[in-house]
């Protein structure tokens, strides 16, 4: 089972959108969304989850550097992927979750082999 950490700023919208798609439509997968902002998740939590994950997927390019700064890890020594969906303009008053889900679903389909997962067709 692929252990995947999805990372955005707060761990509320973009990382959760990708985690939802992976959990509901791909297998075998164990996914945890997390926020890299200091007020989102603590240092110890980020360290633990980075150690746990087989794959770390950041939702914007700059979040890779932000995660490195927060954890002290060299991101080149981790299996980090970038699913760049841009800034968080998907929730709240914008209500663009459908756009986000479409973007992450397409990304997951393209990258499923490198993540060690497959899209399943069974109904939940």
Q: What is the pLDDT of residue 73?
A: 87
Q: CA 59 to CA 14: how far, in whole Å?
A: 7
Number of domain units in the chain: 1
Q: Are strands 2-8 and 29-35 parallel, antiparallel or unpaired?
A: parallel
56: tokens are 């770390």
For residue 94, the model assigns a pLDDT of 63
- Put simply, whether the predicted model's pTM sits higher than 0.85 gets the answer yes
Please give the pLDDT value at position 88.
Answer: 78
**Residue 13 located in a structural domain:** yes
Per-residue pLDDT at 44:
93
Is 124 among the domain residues?
no
Secondary structure (DSSP) of 27-58: ESEEEEEEE-STTTS-HHHHHHHHHH-SEEEE
Q: Is residue 92 part of a domain?
A: yes
pLDDT of residue 123: 58
> Per-residue confidence of the chain (124 residues) as pLDDT tens digits?
999 999 999 888 899 999 999 999 999 999 999 999 999 999 999 999 999 999 999 999 999 999 999 999 888 888 999 999 987 776 666 667 788 899 999 999 999 999 999 998 765 5
Q: Is residue 73 part of a domain?
A: yes
| Residue 86 lies in domain | 2-119
On whether residue 41 sits in a domain, the answer given is yes
Has residue 21 been placed in a domain?
Answer: yes
pLDDT of residue 17: 93
Residue 56, domain member (yes or no): yes
Nearest CA to 116 among 35, 51, 52, 53? 53
| CATH classification at residue 43 | 3.40.50.2300
pLDDT at 87: 76
- Asked if residue 66 belongs to a domain, the reply is yes
């Amino acid at each position: 089972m692929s252990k995947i950490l999805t990372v955005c700023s707060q761990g509320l919208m973009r990382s959760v959108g990708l985690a939802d798609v992976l959990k509901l439509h791909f297998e075998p997968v164990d996914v945890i969304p997390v926020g890299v902002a200091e007020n989102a998740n603590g240092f110890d939590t980020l360290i633990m989850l980075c150690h746990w994950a087989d794959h770390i997927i950041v939702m914007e390019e700059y979040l890779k550097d932000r995660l490195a700064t927060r954890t002290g890890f060299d991101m080149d020594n981790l299996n980090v992927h970038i699913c760049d969906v841009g800034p968080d303009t998907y929730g709240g008053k914008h209500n663009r979750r459908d756009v986000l889900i479409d973007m992450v679903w397409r990304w997951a389909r393209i990258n499923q082999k490198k993540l060690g997962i497959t899209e399943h067709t069974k109904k939940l």
